[in-house]
Structure 1
Amino acid sequence: MKNPARNTTRKNLVQAGILASAVLLAGSATAQQKISDDVVKIGVLTDMSGAYSDFTGTGAVTAAKMAVEDFSKNGMVLGKKIEVVYSDHQNKPDIGASRARQWFDQEQVDVIVELVTTNVALAVMDVAEQKKKIVLISGAASLPITNERCNANTVHWVYDSYGLASGTAKAIVQSGKKNWYFIATDYAAGVAMTNSASQVVVANGGKVVGVTKHPFPASDFSSFLLTAQASKADVIALANGGQDTILAIKQAAEYGISKTQSIVPIVLFINDVHAMGLKVAQGLTLTESFYWNRDEKSRAWSRRFFEKSKKMPSMAQAGVYSSVLNYLHAVANTGTDDMATVMKYLKSTPIDDGLFKGSIRADGKFAHEMLLLEVKKPSESTEPWDYYHVRKVIPTADAALPLSESKCKLVQL
């Protein structure tokens, strides 16, 4: 004989299951409806052919696509397609801003990533603020991005001039090399790096004896180096990047300047070391936020990147991967690609993706550890791209400008 109570219970459970499924489906449909234009589109805007293309360029596009693959094997989020597009801003702010405007207005791009070259990054940030879109910066160095020029749409993901100076400049001054001469690129990043490093030098008992600016890009550093040599400074600091930094270091070695004065790059990428070779680069002190050979997680990801790019990733390229991956998680977990909602999630959720670990502050700075590195001698390298000694891990608290000193309008103390 059938048990009416048991049948009633079974019927109620079935109905509850149907109701729960309906709620989940409805929720999924609601989430899907919140994806604008039925696609999540990521734009990689970078230097594809100029002075910075080796440590950004096509490798940045590869990193973005790897992030999409690792997030979703079918290239979907919330049932909608993820698309990666890319373009060359040629290190020109007007081209960068024009491309950003076209992407936002006509091609429904939701987020722009990478943005090496400070002047380009600042220009694109302004467009994104007007259009209520998101910018995640990996390649540009300037502190004003999250300081006096900050906005609610931007995250500075990898490094800035404060973090670089708090590592390299502090270590060099504390080693006893007090008098500094700067050779700086004549645009915003050069100014920011010079200012940040100068403040660290003076704060630690050093002195800035001179600054010379050079055009970007430069074809010859002879006159700048000879002027710096004549200053008798302990340190000739290079506040530039990419091919400019490589050329300056090579010429300093050719003239024998690096035998009597320390050449100190404020920013240097592993690709730059690879281009120079260890014979020229050995002994250089630098600060980075990522090194492929640091631990098992960084090695595993970097070797996958190498299979695709035939070179190890720079910190900027690693930053593109991290920023895209975490952006997609934010979209998935909030159920929308709405700018304000995604940014709120990013700024309230700790990040630990195997490459970077930290949190995004109110000013848009992704605060995380930095690494003080020394370039190995050729005899110390055990395999290709094994270029660095990790001399110190710089704590997060020391690697980012204290919020108490911030000029960002978003910071409320």
Structure 2
Amino acid sequence: MRARVLLTALLAGMASSVAPSVAAFAGTPVKIGVLNDRSGVYADISGEGSVVAARMAVEDFRQQSHDLAVEIVAGDHQNKPAVGAALARVWYDREGVDAIFDVPTSSVALAVHAVTRERNKVFVDSGAGTADLTGPDCSPNTVHWTFDTVALANGTGGAMVKRGGDTWFFVTADYAFGEAVQRDTTALILRNGGRVLGSVKTPFPASDFGPALREAQGSGAKVIGLANAGGDTIGAVREAARLKVTEGGQALAGLLIFSSDIHALTPKVAQGLVLTEPFYWDLNDGTRAFSDRFARRFSGRKPTAAQAGVYAGVLHYLKAVAALHRADDGRRVVAKMKELSTDDPLFGKGTIRPDGRKIHDMYLFEVKKPSESKGEWDLYRTLATIPGAEAFRPLDQGGCPLVTKAAQAETAVPTEGARP
């Protein structure tokens, strides 16, 4: 099997004899696995940068006077569900991994989600988009941290419809994420009186977007929705520029775009593109300070939203483990994560709902013109802040069985001081 552990880093020493620690309680370090695409179309979104972010979270957590031993391993799932699931089983069964983080590529995330539940471990996803992770197949072992297809649809899709983009044609990656984001964006378009004129699926990953984009041009749709991500989105936007799509009067909507994609495209190619992200390095003093530290460790690159999600997710996970003094029961750890309010410098204050959906604000951005950009990573201007309660799917509309159970338990056994 090609996917193997690529990196192991021991980030903490032995437990102190003064304060109790998880290491002392359990006898072994907490072990975290960062699983992602390290060599393909999503490597810039997550890859080694997510491992850097995880290390930074462990270091920052220990600075808060927590005596905690943590080990990090990393692996490449190659964007293949079978590879991701197999590596998750090896990590859980043989190598003592307690929690897996990141996992871009929705089809791989769904596979790891299932294995994690079987093994009663913890899965904190920051790189995949499918809202199905918190839908009917939600799990008491999974937290979906950074974004999802519903929030992307509400952000970018909603903005384009408000601007008059009431007819759409989708260019969709042929796997779980592409299908989910097209589905959720279509639902929003129809609710607002718009129409979808057609769609075409492209292989994942794809090398030639010309035929799909020419079909989209021929549809006459006002908006061409790119239901893909990473290297596929970069390739599609470049081909759209070559075909002069926007010059012909059609708008291009990237339904999942990261700052690393825009950096690769440059504002000259991507200027005017509207997109939705939950994180941008230049949002505030906290994001800027973290991003400067990250860049010094990672070849001058600013963190993506997925990498920021790894940092914040690891930090909150370790808080829950420390509160429980154990990491060996995934359901109990995730329950504690939901119980504790989230607070970090990248996403601010938030909560984790009973369905596992992490709630925080999303942001609608527009790519700056080259004349507006003041530097290599000065890419976005903010159009709007979308409150988390409006960005993500309402709790009672996802079909997650955990929501019903949580409501029943709250009604049957009211507890003093319980969170609403």
Same fold per TM (> 0.5)?
yes
- Misfit runs of 4+, over 2 Å: 24-29, 31-35
| Residue of structure 2 equivalent to 1:186 | 174
| Residue of structure 1 equivalent to 2:358 | 366
Residues 132 and 138 of structure 2 are in contact (CA less than 8 Å); yes or no, is this contact kept in structure 1?
A: yes
- Percent of aligned positions that are identical: 45
What does the per-residue CA deviation read over 1:77-111, in whole Å, with 9 as the maximum and x for residues that have no partner? Answer: 55x52111000000001110110000001110000
1: CA distance, partners of 2:139 / 2:102: 17
Query: How far off its partner does 1:122 sit?
Result: 0.6
Q: Is the aligned partner of 1:141 residue 2:129? A: yes
Residues 77 and 328 of structure 1 are in contact (CA less than 8 Å); yes or no, is this contact kept in structure 2?
A: no
Instruction: Output aligned runs, 1:190-205, within 5 Å.
Output: 190-205=178-193
Q: Could you state the TM-score of these two structures normalised by the residue count of structure 2?
A: 0.89
| Residue of structure 2 equivalent to 1:45 | 35
What does the per-residue CA deviation read over 1:214-233, in whole Å, with 9 as the maximum and x for residues that have no partner? Answer: 11000000100000000000
Given the alignment, which residue of 348, 354, 364 partners 2:345?
A: 354
| Residue of structure 1 equivalent to 2:335 | 344
Query: How far off its partner does 1:329 sit?
Result: 1.2
Query: How far off its partner does 1:26 sit?
Result: 10
Query: How far off its partner does 1:257 sit?
Result: 1.1
Q: Provide the aligned C-alpha RMSD in A.
A: 1.7
Q: Is the aligned partner of 1:208 residue 2:208? A: no
1: CA distance, partners of 2:237 / 2:332: 45
| Residue of structure 1 equivalent to 2:394 | 402
Q: Is the aligned partner of 1:379 residue 2:367? A: no
2: CA distance, partners of 1:151 / 1:131: 12
Query: How far off its partner does 1:55 sit?
Result: 1.1
Q: Could you state the TM-score of these two structures normalised by the residue count of structure 1?
A: 0.91
What does the per-residue CA deviation read over 1:40-96, in whole Å, with 9 as the maximum and x for residues that have no partner? Answer: 00000000000000010010010001111111159x955x52111000000001110
Distance 1:177 1:110, change over 3 A: same
Instruction: Output aligned runs, 1:14-413, within 5 Å.
Output: 28=20, 32=23, 34-35=25-26, 38-72=28-62, 78=67, 80-259=68-247, 260-309=249-298, 310-337=300-327, 338-356=329-347, 357-412=349-404, 413=407
* Higher Cα radius of gyration: 1
1: CA distance, partners of 2:192 / 2:356: 28
Residues 141 and 160 of structure 1 are in contact (CA less than 8 Å); yes or no, is this contact kept in structure 2?
A: yes
What does the per-residue CA deviation read over 1:118-169, in whole Å, with 9 as the maximum and x for residues that have no partner? Answer: 1111111111111100000000000101112211100000000000110110
Query: Which of the two has greater helix per residue?
Result: 1
Task: In structure 2, give the amino acid aligned to 1:226.
Answer: R
What does the per-residue CA deviation read over 1:315-365, in whole Å, with 9 as the maximum and x for residues that have no partner? Answer: 000000000111111111221113232212110111111111310000000
- Matched position secondary structure for 2:44: coil
What does the per-residue CA deviation read over 1:229-284, in whole Å, with 9 as the maximum and x for residues that have no partner? Answer: 00000000000011111111111111111212111110000000000010000000
- Matched position secondary structure for 1:28: coil
- In the alignment, structure 1 segments of 5+ residues that lack a partner are 1-23
2: CA distance, partners of 1:278 / 1:61: 28
1: CA distance, partners of 2:391 / 2:63: 35
Task: In structure 1, give the amino acid aligned to 2:293.
Answer: R
2: CA distance, partners of 1:28 / 1:114: 29
Residues 140 and 335 of structure 2 are in contact (CA less than 8 Å); yes or no, is this contact kept in structure 1?
A: no
What does the per-residue CA deviation read over 1:191-215, in whole Å, with 9 as the maximum and x for residues that have no partner? Answer: 1000111111111121111011011
Residues 263 and 376 of structure 2 are in contact (CA less than 8 Å); yes or no, is this contact kept in structure 1?
A: no
Name the count of aligned residue pairs: 386
